[in-house]
Structure 1
Amino acid sequence: MVSVFRRSLSFPNKPTPNRPSKPSLSRHTRSISLPCRSHPLISQLKDHITELQSWSSTCDSSSAWLVDGLNRLTELHHCLDDTLQLPQTQEALRRQPHYSSVENLLEQFLRFVDVYGIFRSSVLALKEEHSAVQVALRKRNESKVALYMKARKRMSNEMSKLVNEVRHCTRSSESVSPNSVNVGDVELAVVVTDVVQVTVMVSVALFNGIALSLGPRKSTTWRNMGIMKKGKVDDQYQGIHEFEQVGIRSLLGLRKKGAEEFKATWKNMRELEISIEGIETCTERVFRSLINARVALLNILTS
């Protein structure tokens, strides 16, 4: 025999005066606008910029520190070049009014390329003079020392001029105009402007460090030299240790130096040679990355 089951219907209890009704559940109202997500390359650019800013705060006045900064700068510009190849980046730059922002960015990168081109030539000339004085050092011949010191002084003056040149990039108008209703355009504008600023920062550290180390006036830091700007210290970068170890005092009187003193001088010369080669290699990479970024910008402007 099959049992018959009756279906029962349940209704919600009506609120009574002595029994309050349950509070209604609060619901979150979602926005109909979708969030704008950055491209991973933009995030990488931001990471590179942050790393360079942290690098600047850990100055230790060594050539290894400068080489590290130059390598980080090269990676930053490689990432920038990849970002400029993106269709959305090119569209964002084309939306700039009359391409004025892109043209300004092109001028800034042209200045960077020119500055690093001059620097490469100066480093090559110093490297040749350094090799020549090392030959004279082995023979304890001081005839090349005067020429070497003149080359150091000449490069110091050139580095001071390069500092002024590279600073013009930050004195000019913004790289990319952030006046846009598009969130992605604004983010790109900020990131590209930051790229220019950290490029100037690393370049000033390099050029100032060499100018201070090779110049006739020797001091430990720009801070001690009392270089002020609007009540604040303009530069915090120190001279390069390996460059400062080799001076005119260590090179004069070679024939009168004892074996230990001569050995120490020779060691300092070798360390300086390695430092010059390291800086030369890294600046060559920076130079190439700057050219690639400018070519990418030029393609966007002319396409």
Structure 2
Amino acid sequence: MVASPLMAKYGYHVRSTSLPSTSHPLTSRVEDELNKLRGWVASNSSSLKSVVVLQDGLCGITCLYESVEDLLRLSHIQQVLVHHRHEKCVDTVLDGSLRLLDVSGTARDVLLQIKEQIQQTQSALRRRKSGKFDSKNELDVYSSSRKKMHKVIEKCLGDLKKMDNKHPFSPSEKDQDLLALITVLREVEIITLSVFESMLSFISGSSTLQKSGGWALLSKFKSNNRIICEMQEEGGNEVATVYSAVRTGQISQKRLEILETSIQSLEEGLENMFRRLIKTRASLLNILSN
């Protein structure tokens, strides 16, 4: 199995070699959730096929952070963190939690921009019906908006690639609990960054995607079977499909409605994950302030 570009770049594999061969009992549940996400990353390393698949990744991250929260509630884990609060490895974990919130904020902003693009295009289609449609001007406006969005995404992806996910840490060799805890928390950060990378690449609409199944989200649009089939034939990426349709003048309200529903579902998944990220960082800060 192949790791995502981000994980491969920094030497992390589907089963990271940095983790002990035998799971530490205190971190075993978190590692179970990590393994599920490693499987997701491996399955989607070459191309992310649809919003439904991306939703699975976001749900997996949410479940992962629920297990991290349970871990941080353990009194023994709290004692370990407090005892070693001044070690660099603990600071590294805190810095990582802030970094994740920054990336999450960027992703939320990008989704908002896509929704605005959809609304602008819907308005343009209504103007076309009323005879007030200027196709060249509308395309220029849409293209300009997308270029701005792409710059934001490219910068964020560039920042992700620059992040040194191999920060050295040297917890006391005598404290195996600290070693296991810091290791697994760093793994959590890296798998989360990998999912963010997949999400940003997907919603940029520039991913090279293959034909696939996984269209459960769209199945409820029974009257739109023709459009759904066309989108499948074009690769499955709802964002890229709509952009292509706008450029060729083949866009329709139905396509936009499908994309709008997809973006809404991603917003909900991202919001759930964002709340978990905030809660986890708050828990860490509260523990370390005691």
Q: Does the Cα contact within 8 Å between 1:115 and 1:165 map onto a contact in 2? A: no
1:67 maps onto 2:63 in alignment? no
In the alignment, the residues of structure 1 paired with residue 172 and residue 254 of structure 2 have an alpha-carbon distance, to the nearest angstrom, of: 56
1:230-250, CA deviations, whole angstroms, 9 ceiling, x for partnerless residues?
A: xxxxxxxxx9711111125x2
1:201-249, CA deviations, whole angstroms, 9 ceiling, x for partnerless residues?
A: 11111112223x15xxx7559xxxxxxxxxxxxxxxxx9711111125x
- Report how far residue 122 of structure 1 moved: 2.4
Q: Does the Cα contact within 8 Å between 2:110 and 2:149 map onto a contact in 1? A: yes
Cα RMSD between the aligned structures?
2.7
1:188 maps onto 2:181 in alignment? yes
In the alignment, the residues of structure 1 paired with residue 236 and residue 108 of structure 2 have an alpha-carbon distance, to the nearest angstrom, of: 18
In the alignment, the residues of structure 2 paired with residue 168 and residue 199 of structure 1 have an alpha-carbon distance, to the nearest angstrom, of: 16
- Report how far residue 178 of structure 1 moved: 4.4
**TM-score of the aligned structures, taking structure 1 as reference length:** 0.69
Q: Could you say which residue in structure 2 is the equivalent of 1:33?
A: none
In the alignment, the residues of structure 1 paired with residue 96 and residue 147 of structure 2 have an alpha-carbon distance, to the nearest angstrom, of: 28
Aligned equivalent of 2:266, options 279, 286, 291: 279
Q: Following superposition of structure 1 onto structure 2, how do residues 1-303 of structure 1 map, counting pairs within 5 Å?
A: 38-39=25-26, 42-59=27-44, 60-96=48-84, 98-140=86-128, 141=133, 142=135, 143-171=137-165, 173-174=167-168, 177-211=170-204, 213-214=205-206, 219-220=208-209, 241-248=237-244, 250-252=245-247, 254=249, 265-303=252-290
In the alignment, the residues of structure 1 paired with residue 41 and residue 111 of structure 2 have an alpha-carbon distance, to the nearest angstrom, of: 23
1:102-139, CA deviations, whole angstroms, 9 ceiling, x for partnerless residues?
A: 22211111111112112212211221221121122234
What amino acid is the match of 1:207?
L
Q: Could you say which residue in structure 1 is the equivalent of 2:6?
A: none
Q: Percent identity?
A: 28
Q: Secondary structure at the residue paired with 1:173?
A: coil
The 3 A distance-change label for structure 1 pair 74 and 240 is farther
Q: Could you say which residue in structure 2 is the equivalent of 1:7?
A: none
What amino acid is the match of 1:51?
K
In the alignment, the residues of structure 1 paired with residue 284 and residue 236 of structure 2 have an alpha-carbon distance, to the nearest angstrom, of: 34
What amino acid is the match of 2:167?
S
In the alignment, the residues of structure 2 paired with residue 117 and residue 104 of structure 1 have an alpha-carbon distance, to the nearest angstrom, of: 20
Q: Does the Cα contact within 8 Å between 2:90 and 2:182 map onto a contact in 1? A: no
**TM-score of the aligned structures, taking structure 2 as reference length:** 0.72
In the alignment, the residues of structure 2 paired with residue 93 and residue 156 of structure 1 have an alpha-carbon distance, to the nearest angstrom, of: 40
Tell me which structure has the larger Cα radius of gyration.
1
Q: Does the Cα contact within 8 Å between 1:112 and 1:166 map onto a contact in 2? A: no
Q: Secondary structure at the residue paired with 1:171?
A: coil
How many residues are paired up? 236
- Report how far residue 289 of structure 1 moved: 1.0
| Alignment gaps of 5+ in structure 2 | 1-22, 211-234
- Report how far residue 168 of structure 1 moved: 4.8
1:60-117, CA deviations, whole angstroms, 9 ceiling, x for partnerless residues?
A: 4211111110111011112212211221111222233723222221111111111211
Q: Does the Cα contact within 8 Å between 2:209 and 2:237 map onto a contact in 1? A: no
Q: When you count helix as a share of all residues, which structure comes out higher?
A: 2
What amino acid is the match of 2:175?
N
The 3 A distance-change label for structure 1 pair 287 and 127 is same
| Alignment gaps of 5+ in structure 1 | 1-35, 222-238, 255-260
In the alignment, the residues of structure 2 paired with residue 296 and residue 164 of structure 1 have an alpha-carbon distance, to the nearest angstrom, of: 29
